Structure 1
Amino acid sequence: MSSYLLPTLSRKREVDGIIRDTVDKVLVLRFGRCSDAACLQLDDILSKSSREISKFATIALVDIDAEEIQVYVNYFDITLIPSTIFFFNAHHMKMDSGTADHTKWIGSFHSKQDFIDVVETIFRGAMKGKLIVSCPLPPERIPRFQLLFKDL
């Protein structure tokens, strides 16, 4: 149960605070449920990586079922879990991974090294003033989802 090793946020005030207070580090927010199998797989990768990336990143889990968190769930359009969102100095960092959605990473990572590579790329881009970076992973290791748009 690696999700117990990382802080879990369930209030809007906690999420606002960690976004505002994380300075000169990438903030990794995993939106999901601690009981979901895919989330547990991602949590395992996140917790195993947390020590190695601690100098340039902070990781927190966000409980998607918490009532106060629904503001973020709606704002970031989180329909598939786990969804991972990145921030740097309170700015939302985006990543072009060849999918239709650049605002978040949907699904788990294949390995701990894939996650570390993504966070490091986001950190290096953010230090150069970029708000969107290119995904360093090869296309076969990027999860693909079919996005459906309603009422178009």
Structure 2
Amino acid sequence: MAYLLNTLTRKREVDSVIRDTIDKVLVLRFGRASDAVCLQLDDILAKSAREVSKFAVVALVDVDSEDVQVYVKYFDITLIPSTVFFFNAHHMKMDSGTADHTKWVGAFHRKQDFIDVMEAIYRGAMKGKLIVNCPLPPERIPRYQLLYKDI
């Protein structure tokens, strides 16, 4: 299913999609096509893309591409898949009860969960918010043990 979604492998492509996506939520999935959880997430993203197309754009970023490592480092992409959200070139954050509000780590349980999250981010962004509360119940939010270096 991932072939339906645009895959970005160059910093210039990521820069331009962030800059040029106006009045829609930009969803950047950082991961690799060979990863099972990425494939599960990509399937949900591809199946949802048309339904959210009025208010969201989805693109995949290949974490193994040498040219996008600046973004991988900047967003601290250590667990994949990690999904980052933007609105009018502003990084959108989401409080989902995890330690990291900057990205969604893991796959969504189902298509409707992704759509609900997109709607919440879009509505918050339209009100000028840079952080929104996750609309999903806690049992449908993936949990990861975050390991911090140098602590």
**TM-score of the pair, normalised by structure 1:** 0.99
Secondary structure, in 3 states, of the residue corresponding to 2:59?
Answer: strand
Name 2:42's counterpart in structure 1. 43
1:3-26 Cα deviation digits (max 9, x unpaired): 101000000000000000000000
Question: Structure 1 residue 148: deviation in Å?
Answer: 1.0
- Whole-angstrom distance in 2 between the partners of 1:3 and 1:135: 25
The 4+ residue runs of structure 1 with deviation greater than 3 A are: none
Q: Which amino acid aligns with 2:37?
A: A
- Whole-angstrom distance in 1 between the partners of 2:149 and 2:131: 26
Equivalent residues in 2 for 1:117-128 (5 A)?
Answer: 117-128=116-127
Question: Structure 1 residue 87: deviation in Å?
Answer: 0.1
- How many residue pairs match? The answer is 151
Whether 1:98 aligns to 2:133 is no
- Whole-angstrom distance in 2 between the partners of 1:149 and 1:66: 24
Name 2:136's counterpart in structure 1. 137
- Whole-angstrom distance in 1 between the partners of 2:2 and 2:75: 22
Secondary structure, in 3 states, of the residue corresponding to 1:80?
Answer: coil
- Whole-angstrom distance in 2 between the partners of 1:119 and 1:102: 15
Question: Structure 1 residue 149: deviation in Å?
Answer: 1.0
- Whole-angstrom distance in 1 between the partners of 2:63 and 2:148: 21
Equivalent residues in 2 for 1:19-98 (5 A)?
Answer: 19-98=18-97
- Whole-angstrom distance in 2 between the partners of 1:52 and 1:151: 43
Let me know the Cα RMSD of the aligned residues: 0.4
- Whole-angstrom distance in 1 between the partners of 2:34 and 2:9: 15
- Whole-angstrom distance in 2 between the partners of 1:47 and 1:150: 35
Secondary structure, in 3 states, of the residue corresponding to 2:38?
Answer: helix
Q: Which amino acid aligns with 1:49?
A: S
Name 1:8's counterpart in structure 2. 7
Q: Which amino acid aligns with 2:67?
A: E
- Whole-angstrom distance in 2 between the partners of 1:74 and 1:50: 27
Whether 1:151 aligns to 2:133 is no
Q: Which amino acid aligns with 2:148?
A: F
| Percent of paired sites with the same residue | 80
Question: Structure 1 residue 44: deviation in Å?
Answer: 0.2
Q: Which amino acid aligns with 2:134?
A: C
- Whole-angstrom distance in 1 between the partners of 2:149 and 2:82: 20
Q: Which amino acid aligns with 1:113?
A: Q
Name 2:106's counterpart in structure 1. 107
Q: Which amino acid aligns with 1:26?
A: V
Secondary structure, in 3 states, of the residue corresponding to 1:72?
Answer: helix
- Whole-angstrom distance in 2 between the partners of 1:41 and 1:27: 19
